[in-house]
Amino acid sequence: MALDPDAFKFIDVEEFITVDGKQIPSKGVRLVHILTKLDFGVYFQAQVRSMEWKAAYIVHDKYRRKYNLAHEDLVSLREFAEDFSAERKRAGKSLNKDFLIQELSAELKRRVAAKGG
């Protein structure tokens, strides 16, 4: 799943910080995912470690210079990988990283051919 800005919210937190051995109350905010309640950083790291994000990065890195790919292309590939993976899971089919990389490479080549490059 892509990082949707509407999927996060700020929550107020009260914490204690230690200064010169004394506990001082401190107020602040944290950005958390609405459904999982995970901090943004923890949620983001979990997404980055997902098979879909890794495969998209591998394909983007491999063809970046050849096709002059931008960051938007990486995001688009990542979204395609997430959709493709979800489709396979709904159909009850297995999916591994190598197959996903092959599928993303083919999709990227289709996109480049459609653009005429």
Which residue, among 89, 111, 113, has the nearest Cα to 100 in the 3D structure? 89
Which of these, 50, 46, 47, 104, lies nearest to 74 by C-alpha position? 104
pTM above 0.85, yes or no: no
- DSSP-assigned letters across all residues of 15-42: EEEEETTEEEEEEEEEEEETTT--BHHH
User: Letter for the amino acid at 22?
Assistant: K
Q: What is the pLDDT of residues 75-94, one digit of tens each?
A: 999 999 999 999 999 999 99
- Banded pLDDT at 2 (limits 50, 70, 90): low
pLDDT band at 1 (very low <50, low <70, confident <90, very high): very low
pLDDT single digits (tens) 55-78: 999 999 999 999 999 999 999 999
115 pLDDT above the threshold of 90? no
